[in-house]
């Protein structure tokens, strides 16, 4: 068995590790923390805006791949994204639904409408449609969800397909636990795992609902119990959907826990420690990477390495006080640094070029230098470390993560064979 | 800070942990993994008492809810940005307690003293520790909860056994190792220490057990930084006396952590002796895994048909080497090791002994106790002694150090 | 059209104007203060946060030094809530001339500024982040002050004496007749209503804008040179005392702990327009280098926010016009009677925040003299409402408060420990306020996440309050995020980039905030 080292436990790292292990490869996943999935919305964004609202992500991303050669999708290709989507769905069973050809259009916690491709079943009923009637329900003790803000913005927004919906706010008070008035979404999610709590909640809410309404709730409907939302819906006698919140994101945690458990079950050895601080390269080939483990640093050797360390948010990319941007592990060459100032003062108009900086990759996800040659023959990249796009603005980060993780894993398997 | 603040609290380490608060981006990941915040609203969570509150600290300690932090270290482990959250909390708590340290917290750290006193009268001590009225009085007077798990006094110390046993028949072929047994391994978990050295000798090593003291962990976690710093440096001297450049093996997961990083990162101990010992010390399962990775571990294990739950202690996880025990045990044919998936057993060293923290500690450990009972009601494995005592007491399942299984599988039991 | 009639109109809601309106009101005059923005949005809100001990001026400007020392003591007593008596050090950097410290000590003695040399070891023990290679250290009584609390405190005191404080009122015209000021015209920017205020006297306290106001009354040009300086707030208190370089005043020679941050400053560049103050990259680098001299590792620390303010300096013939640092910081009262043949108006320029009360005393004394009235100043004798206890601010206060009410109330801005009640109370007093108006009272969004987590909460709560509708709520959120960015992008590096990345992830990725219904025109006020 060969040894592949995956660095990073975000979506791309976990998917790459799972895919490699599934193909019989001995994988070690190194991570500083527990990945960033619980910071995100718990759905899979493939392509949301280009710059207009996207209805068919996989089709539009093909267009982007042709029109923008520096975009990650140009290297990844629509086919890999498609494969990634199907792979993830199969891996997670009933935790994600949707297809590569269509975006859901879901309400957000400020009342905007966000396009996203794969969603958790608990979110599906929120897909906006003309004539829909939503009751947006907030909890007094949950400060990250304000039903009036959501309902009134939704109501005044023309829907993507044309048409309008009606949304009204409802505010109730059901404590998540005694003695607490400032409960996090996670505390509520743990409460929702308890059927007795769901009974209490339904009893309080039901009398306030009108016939024919679909109930929109903050995304706290259970952490361990995947059926909690459905049970609640039955108790209420209304369809129910969840709206993702800022961190801690419960839907994100569900994905994180599921993918991590799957990786472990597949035999991936996960070492959660300190940052990977250096790499050992001999004759241009990466031989090992070292973690600053307590006591003495620890090296992990392997035949191939997947750099799935994320972008600026995770510190994989950094800009120092002189404005110098580096990839902090290997010191890899970066794209996006030569097009003028990286940061500008206009908040609402154009994106900040800084956040499109990242490594270049080839179609096999090998990291490339400016001349297009592989920096190291056995170093691959996946996810947010890849430059060339503004992932949050486009809503493309998860699709990039999936497609690149699958391509990297498959390229490595081919190489090792 | 008042002029009477003990000098042990003035340390560069504080600045190091404090400076790391800059890395906090408020992502809440630490809060979601904190086992104490999960079970009680009395603790506002690691982000709150760590990098967030630290920006407000200057002298006066005003946030006493900080005391609910168990210092399990999970927050630092899961933080993606490198904030030294647990270390910040430990330091802030030490400052908070400096002027009014409860007697109990001073006593509880005196592990060596307890061991020395209890060993000669082990059967009586053992009976006393399980005697309800005595425990009730202890709770009222000293503040140790009547149901909290107590260390099991043994009739013979490890040092005494070591001194009296015959030399191993086989000559050493692989070199010399120093064995650090720790207070628990010296006085209470003597069997674990015995099995550890027997395995090392079986593998062909010569084992040296120098006269050795306490690493100071219990004192450190109760905020007695001055005493803990003195203890840990004395221990470094003891271990260094055994010989230069030798690898030091420990089967006490948490003591290893104290030497590897906690004494430096929490108390700011910045001494060549600590650096030397800290880089040479290995947890025993870590050592076996390293041997295996180098192709040097005999894997002619006997088959042990068993499914056994394994819990990785917080202070082992925070050393950042993953879970070596799971990998080593995985080499034993027939043995299925099920990782607990639990964050913390709740004891957190001495935290769960305390009257006011006991219920919280039990709530923290509940998912683990249930998992253990469900997986194998007869046996569980865990690398740290206080965790073993907690698991055993609260789940009723006998809990051993993983080295017992290795010992068994090598046919040494 | 609204009509008012008062004795005195005070123009300018910075520390000068607030101090003046308080003094005027306490002396029994009916008065109105007009400020075109929120109080303290000019120079006062953009200063260093320093309550001078006077040490900085003992060699370069002895008169200012003495005044600062005296006023420091007075303000610490009467305006204690806004002030933290941090104490301060003057330290000789490794490459500075150690002999300057001797001059310093002599100057301190001569000007009455309390100063005491301490050992470098003691300084380093008390401030562990200080450069271990400093050569000498002198202890002084510097403090730090919240500029907005200061101005609002004075304004509230004035209100208690019957004054009216009109923020977001922009002066449009000053009427004169027979060489005398008769009325001031202004517009209520939030409602659009015009207001005419008949008055007997105008006190022009508009700082860098004083020239523009004077011109409205037909006066000859008043040379107020705006001296722009930038400030960078570092994410936490690298020091708990004010730390100054013991040198002749230069750029970036002071680091001040204010609330939860420490602020390095400042530069000094002559500009023309006080409404357009750039935060120049070169100056940011200069501040970081200056910080590195005081605190090794400064550049690795997190820069949180930057801003630029303009000092209002009266032109002084002794110094070249382009070098504004060495102009006298002394105040100047411009008497328009002699200068312009215009009665009923005085303009005040120059000065610094530490001596704001004294400045106000001088100008109101001058006004009384003009009016031929003997009314004495009592502003030093009476505490500002809220500061009666004399208890000064401690950085631990908010942590202590939240420790007590954490289980009874939600914490909305977690970084700055602002409770929900604090927010809703402030909202009730300023229902038409922007989130920045509220921020100045509460510190909402001023911590590490810079609004990343709290802006949405604030928006939701404000909307629930029923004072505003969904359009305004959404517009206020947009405005708040836009305004935060002004002070972020010039210092965006290191940890703050990671924060911005996470904040973008939340706002764009999860909330899709940029696709909320676009307003026809953005909310600006």
pLDDT recorded at residue C327: 41
B256 vs A contacts (CB less than 8 Å): 295
pLDDT score at C464: 95
**Cα B196 from Cα B285, distance rounded (Å):** 10
When the pLDDT of each residue in chain B is averaged and rounded to a whole number, the result is 91
Q: Looking at the structure, tell me whether residues A309 and A395 fall in a common domain.
A: yes
Q: What is the mean pLDDT of chain A?
A: 96
On whether any CB of chain B is under 8 Å from the CB of A210, the answer is no
- pLDDT range class, residue A146, cuts 50, 70, 90: very high
My answer on whether A269 and A395 are in the same domain is yes
Number of B/C CB contacts below 8 angstroms equals 83
- pLDDT at residue C321, as a whole number: 44
Whether residues A115 and A92 share a domain: the answer is: no
**Best residue in C396, C412, C501, C509 for a mutation probing chain B (most B CBs within 10 Å):** C396
Specify the pLDDT at position B9: 58
Q: What is the pLDDT of residues B133-157, one digit of tens each?
A: 888 888 888 788 889 888 888 888 8
In a domain, A103, yes or no: no
**Token couple for C525:** 């006020």
Inspect the interface and report whether the beta carbons of C460 and A397 lie closer than 8 Å: no
CA-nearest of B88, B93, B25 to B63 is B93
Both A265 and A354 in one domain: the answer is: yes
Residue A385 included in any domain: yes
CATH number of the domain at A408, please: 3.50.50.60
pTM of the model: 0.95
In chain B, which residues have pLDDT < 50? 1-8
Nearest residue on chain B to A256, alpha-carbon basis: B29
Residue A248 lies in a domain: no
Sorted by where each begins, the domain ranges of chain C are 81-142+225-314, 397-515
**pLDDT for residue B119:** 80
Give the pLDDT confidence of A80-113 residue by residue, as tens digits: 999 999 999 999 999 999 999 999 999 999 999 9
Are A167 and A301 within one domain?
no
* DSSP secondary structure string for all residues of A254-291: HHHHHHHHHHHHTTPEEEE-S-EEEEEEETTEEEEEEE
Cβ–Cβ gap C396/B62 under 8 Å: yes
pLDDT in tens, A331-368: 999 999 998 999 999 999 889 999 999 999 999 999 99
> A315–B81: do the CB atoms touch at under 8 Å?
yes
pLDDT tens readout for residues A251-280: 999 999 999 999 999 999 999 988 899 999
Assess if residue A155 is contained within a domain: yes
pLDDT for A370 beyond 50: yes
pLDDT one-digit tens code per residue, C134-154: 999 999 999 999 999 999 999
Give the long-range contacts of residues C320-328, CB within 8 A, separation 24 or more: C321/C225, C321/C270, C322/C270, C323/C268, C323/C270, C324/C225, C324/C227, C324/C268, C324/C269, C324/C270, C325/C227, C325/C249, C325/C268, C326/C60, C327/C225, C327/C227, C328/C61, C328/C63, C328/C64
> Which residues, at least 6 apart from B118, have a Cβ–Cβ distance to it below 8 Å?
B125, B151, B153, B187
Q: Which are the contacts of C317, defined by CB distance < 8 A and separation ≥ 6?
A: none
The answer to the question of residue A161 being in a domain is yes
A294 CB within 8 Å of a chain B CB: yes
- Here the ipTM equals 0.98
Q: Is residue C20's pLDDT more than 70? A: yes
* C495/B14 touch (CB, cutoff 8 Å), yes or no: no
Residue A304: its pLDDT value, please?
97
Chain B residues touching A177 at Cβ < 8 A: 41
pLDDT at site C325: 52
The per-residue pLDDT for C316 is 52
pLDDT class of C328 with cuts at 50, 70, 90: very low
C339: distance to nearest CA of chain B, Å? 52
- Final residue of a structural domain among A243, A271, A301: A243
**Looking at residue A195, which CATH number applies to its domain?**
3.40.50
pLDDT of residue C320: 43
Among the three residues A214, A243, A272, which one is the final residue of a domain in this structure?
A: A243
- pLDDT tens per residue across span A201-254: 999 999 999 999 999 999 999 999 999 999 999 999 999 999 999 999 999 999
Give the minimum alpha-carbon distance from A398 to chain C in angstroms, rounded to a whole number. 10
Say which DSSP state B337 is in: E
Please answer whether residues A215 and A236 qualify as being in contact, where contact means their C-beta atoms are separated by less than 8 angstroms: yes
Q: How is C476-489 classified by DSSP, letter by letter? A: HHHHHHHHHHHHHG
Instruction: Kindly state whether residue A102 falls inside one of the protein's structural domains.
Output: no
pLDDT single digits (tens) B48-98: 999 999 999 987 788 999 999 999 999 999 999 999 999 999 999 988 888
Cβ-defined contact of C512 to A114 (cutoff 8 Å): yes
The backbone torsions φ and ψ at residue A193, rounded to the nearest 5 degrees and listed phi first, read: -70, -20
- pLDDT digit string (tens) for C228-250? 999 999 999 999 999 999 999 89
Query: C81-142+225-314 has which CATH code?
Result: 3.30.9.10
For residue C431, the cross-strand partners are none
Task: Work out the pLDDT band at A294, boundaries 50, 70, 90.
Answer: very high
pLDDT value at position C134? 97
pLDDT value at position B13? 62
**Do A113 and A72 lie in a common domain?**
no
The confidence score (pLDDT) of residue B143 equals 86
C358-389 confidence digits (pLDDT tens):
989 989 999 999 999 999 999 999 999 999 99
CB A279 within 8 A of CB A288: yes
pLDDT tens-digit map of C196-234: 999 999 999 999 999 899 999 998 888 888 999 999 999
Q: Is residue A259 located within the same domain as residue A237?
A: no
Task: Locate the chain C residue with the closest alpha carbon to A151.
Answer: C470
Q: Which residue do the tokens 């989130």 mark?
A: C435
Would you say residue C166 has pLDDT above 50? yes
State the sign of the Cα–Cα–Cα–Cα dihedral A355, A360, A363, A365: negative
Q: Please report the beta strands in B209-361, taking only residues with DSSP state E, as ranges in sequence order.
A: 247-250, 281-283, 306-311, 335-339
Burial class from Cβ neighbours inside 10 Å (0-12, 13-18, 19+) for residue A253 reads buried
Sketch out chain B's domains with CATH numbers: 7-97 (1.10.1060.10), 297-409 (3.40.50)
Cross-strand pairs, A53? A49
Of A221, A243, A265, the last residue of a domain is A243
d(CA C431, CA C339): 43
One domain, residues A406 and A264: yes
Residue A269 lies in a domain: yes
The pLDDT score that the predictor gives to residue A286 is: 97
Is A271 in the same domain as A410?
A: yes
Domain that holds residue A336: 3-97+253-416
Please choose, from the candidates C22, C252, C5, C43, the residue with its C-alpha nearest in 3D space to the C-alpha of residue C160: C22
Query: SS3 letters for C411-454?
Result: EEECCCCEEHHHHHHHHHHCCCCCHHHHHHHHCCCCCCCCCCCH
Residues of C in Cβ contact (< 8 Å) with B25: 448-449, 452, 495, 498-499, 502
Query: What residue has token string 């708590």?
Result: B93
Q: What is the mean pLDDT of residues C72-81?
A: 96
CA–CA min distance C440, chain B (Å): 19
- The predicted pLDDT at position B155 comes to 84
Give the closest-approach CA distance of B70 to chain C in angstroms: 18
Adjacent-strand bridge partners of C173: C185
In chain A, the number of structural domains is 2
Same domain, A58 and A195: no
pLDDT at A91: 97
Q: Say if the Cβ atoms of A146 and C463 lie within 8 Å.
A: yes
Which residues does chain B have within 8 Å of residue A42's beta carbon, measured at their own beta carbons?
A: none
What is the pLDDT of chain C when averaged over all its residues? 93
Contact B260 A39 (CB under 8 A): no
């Amino acid at each position: 068995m060969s040894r592949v080292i995956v660095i990073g436990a975000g979506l791309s790292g976990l998917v790459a590790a799972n895919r490699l292990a599934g193909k019989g490869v001995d994988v070690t996943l190194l991570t500083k923390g527990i990945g960033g999935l619980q910071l995100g919305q718990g759905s899979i964004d493939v392509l949301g805006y280009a710059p207009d609202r996207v209805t068919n992500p996989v089709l539009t991303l093909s267009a982007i791949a042709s029109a923008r050669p520096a975009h990650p999708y140009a290297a990844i290709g629509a086919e890999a994204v498609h494969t990634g989507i199907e792979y993830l769905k199969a891996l997670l069973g009933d935790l994600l639904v949707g297809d590569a050809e269509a975006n859901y259009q879901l309400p957000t916690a400020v009342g905007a409408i966000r396009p996203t491709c794969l969603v958790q079943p608990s979110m599906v009923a929120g897909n906006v449609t003309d004539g829909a009637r939503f009751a947006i329900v907030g909890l007094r003790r949950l400060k990250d969800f304000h039903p009036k803000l959501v309902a009134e913005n939704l109501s005044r927004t023309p829907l993507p397909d044309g048409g309008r919906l009606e949304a009204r706010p409802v505010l109730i008070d059901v404590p998540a636990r005694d003695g607490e008035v400032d409960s996090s979404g996670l505390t509520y999610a743990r409460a929702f795992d308890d059927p007795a709590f769901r009974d209490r909640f339904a009893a309080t809410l039901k009398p306030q609902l009108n016939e024919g309404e679909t109930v929109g709730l903050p995304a706290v409907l259970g952490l361990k119990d995947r059926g909690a939302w459905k049970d609640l819906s039955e108790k209420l006698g209304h369809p129910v959907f969840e709206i993702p919140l800022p961190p801690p994101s419960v839907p994100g945690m569900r994905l994180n826990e599921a993918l991590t458990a799957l990786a472990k079950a597949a035999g991936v050895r996960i070492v959660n420690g300190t940052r990977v601080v250096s790499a050992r390269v001999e004759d241009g080939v990466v031989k090992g990477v070292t973690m600053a483990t307590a006591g003495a640093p620890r090296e992990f050797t392997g035949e191939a390495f997947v750099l799935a360390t994320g972008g600026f948010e995770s510190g994989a990319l950094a800009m120092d006080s002189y404005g110098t941007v580096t990839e902090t592990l290997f010191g890899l060459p970066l794209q996006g640094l030569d097009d003028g100032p990286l940061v500008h003062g206009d908040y609402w108009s154009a994106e900040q070029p800084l956040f499109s900086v990242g490594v270049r990759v080839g179609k096999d996800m090998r990291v490339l230098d400016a001349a297009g040659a592989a920096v190291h023959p056995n170093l691959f990249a996946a996810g947010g470390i890849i430059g060339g796009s503004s992932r949050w603005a486009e809503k493309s980060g998860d699709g990039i993560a999936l497609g690149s993780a699958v391509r990297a894993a498959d390229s490595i398997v081919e190489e090792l064979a | 800070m008042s002029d009477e603040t003990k000098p042990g609290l003035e340390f560069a380490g504080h600045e190091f942990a404090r400076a790391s608060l800059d890395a906090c981006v408020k992502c809440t990941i630490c809060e979601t993994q904190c086992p104490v915040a999960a079970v009680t609203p009395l603790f506002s969570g690691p982000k709150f008492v760590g990098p967030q509150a630290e920006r407000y600290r200057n002298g006066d300690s005003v946030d006493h809810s900080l005391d609910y932090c168990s210092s399990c270290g999970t927050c630092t482990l899961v933080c993606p940005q490198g904030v030294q959250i647990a270390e910040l909390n430990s330091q802030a708590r030490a400052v908070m307690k400096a002027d009014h340290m409860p007697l109990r917290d001073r006593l509880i750290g005196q592990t060596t003293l307890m061991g020395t006193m209890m060993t000669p009268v082990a059967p009586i001590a053992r009976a006393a520790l399980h005697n309800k009225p005595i425990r009730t009085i202890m709770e009222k007077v000293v503040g140790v909860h009547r149901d909290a798990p107590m260390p099991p006094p043994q009739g013979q110390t490890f040092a005494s056994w070591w001194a009296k046993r015959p030399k191993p028949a086989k000559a050493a072929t692989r070199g010399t190792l120093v064995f650090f047994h720790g207070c628990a391994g010296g006085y209470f978990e003597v069997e674990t220490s015995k099995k550890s050295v027997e395995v090392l000798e079986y593998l062909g090593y010569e084992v040296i057990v120098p006269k050795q003291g306490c690493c100071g962990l219990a004192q450190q976690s109760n905020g007695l930084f001055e005493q803990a710093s003195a203890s840990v440096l004395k221990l470094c001297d003891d271990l260094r006396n055994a010989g230069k450049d030798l690898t030091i093996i420990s089967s006490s997961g948490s003591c290893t952590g104290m030497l590897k990083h906690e004494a430096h990162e929490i108390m700011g101990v910045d001494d060549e002796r600590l650096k030397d010992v800290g880089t040479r010390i290995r947890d025993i399962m870590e050592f076996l895994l390293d041997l295996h990775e180098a192709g040097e571990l005999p894997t002619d294990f006997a088959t042990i048909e068993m499914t056994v739950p394994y819990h990785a202690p917080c202070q082992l996880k925070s050393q950042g080497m993953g879970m070596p025990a799971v990998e080593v045990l995985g080499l034993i044919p027939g043995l299925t090791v099920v990782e607990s998936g639990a964050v913390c057993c709740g004891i957190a060293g001495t935290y769960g002994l305390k009257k006011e923290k006991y219920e919280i500690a039990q709530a923290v450990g509940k998912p683990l106790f249930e998992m253990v009972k469900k997986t194998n009601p007869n046996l569980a494995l865990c690398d740290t002694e206080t965790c073993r005592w907690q698991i055993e007491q609260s789940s009723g399942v006998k809990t051993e150090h993983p080295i017992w299984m290795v010992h068994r599988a090598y046919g040494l039991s | 059209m609204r009509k008012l009639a008062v004795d005195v109109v005070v123009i300018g809601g910075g520390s000068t104007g607030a101090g003046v309106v308080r003094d005027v009101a306490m002396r029994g005059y009916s008065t109105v203060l007009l400020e075109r923005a929120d109080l303290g949005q000019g120079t006062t809100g953009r200063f260093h946060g320093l309550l001078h001990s006077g040490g900085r001026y003992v060699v370069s400007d002895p008169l200012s030094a003495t005044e600062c020392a005296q006023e420091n003591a007075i303000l610490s007593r009467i305006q204690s809530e806004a002030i933290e008596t941090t104490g301060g050090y003057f330290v000789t950097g490794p490459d500075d001339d150690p002999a300057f410290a001797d001059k310093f000590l002599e100057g301190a003695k001569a000007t009455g500024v309390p100063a005491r040399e301490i050992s470098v070891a003691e300084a380093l023990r008390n401030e562990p982040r200080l450069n271990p290679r400093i050569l000498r250290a002198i202890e002084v009584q510097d403090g730090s002050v919240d500029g907005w609390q200061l101005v609002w405190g004075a304004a509230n005191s004035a209100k208690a004496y019957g004054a009216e404080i009109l923020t977001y009122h922009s002066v449009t015209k000053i009427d004169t007749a027979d060489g005398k000021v008769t009325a001031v015209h202004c517009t209520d920017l939030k409602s659009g209503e015009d207001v005419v205020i008949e008055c007997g006297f105008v006190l022009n306290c508009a700082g860098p804008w004083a020239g523009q106001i004077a011109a409205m009354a037909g006066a000859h040009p008043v040379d107020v040179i705006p001296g722009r300086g930038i400030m960078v707030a570092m994410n936490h208190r690298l020091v708990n005392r004010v730390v100054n370089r013991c040198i002749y005043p230069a750029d970036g020679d002071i680091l001040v702990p204010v609330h939860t941050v420490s602020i390095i400053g400042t530069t000094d560049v002559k500009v023309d327009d006080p409404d357009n103050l750039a935060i120049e990259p070169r100056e940011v680098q200069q501040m970081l280098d200056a910080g590195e001299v005081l605190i090794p590792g400064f550049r690795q620390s997190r820069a949180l926010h930057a801003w630029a303010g303009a000092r209002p300096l009266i032109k002084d013939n002794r110094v070249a016009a382009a070098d504004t640092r060495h102009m006298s910081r002394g105040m100047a009262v411009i008497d328009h009677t002699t200068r312009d043949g215009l009665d009923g108006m005085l303009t005040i320029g120059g000065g610094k925040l530490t001596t704001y009360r004294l400045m106000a005393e001088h100008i109101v004394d001058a006004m009384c003299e003009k009016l031929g009235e003997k009314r004495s100043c009592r502003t030093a004798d009476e505490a500002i409402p809220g500061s009666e206890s004399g208890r000064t601010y401690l950085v631990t206060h908010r942590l202590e408060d939240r420790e007590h009410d954490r289980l009874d109330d939600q914490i909305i801005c977690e970084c700055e420990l602002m409770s929900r009640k604090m927010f809703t109370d402030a909202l009730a007093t300023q229902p038409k306020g922007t989130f920045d108006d509220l921020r100045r009272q509460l510190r909402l969004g001023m911590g590490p996440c810079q609004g990343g987590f709290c802006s949405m909460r604030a928006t939701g709560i404000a909307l629930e309050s029923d004072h505003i509708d969904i359009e305004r709520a959404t517009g206020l959120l947009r405005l708040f995020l836009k305004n935060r960015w002004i002070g972020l992008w010039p210092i965006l590096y290191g940890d703050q980039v990671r924060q911005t990345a996470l904040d973008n992830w939340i706002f764009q990725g999860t909330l899709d905030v940029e696709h909320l219904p676009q307003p026809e025109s953005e909310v600006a006020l």
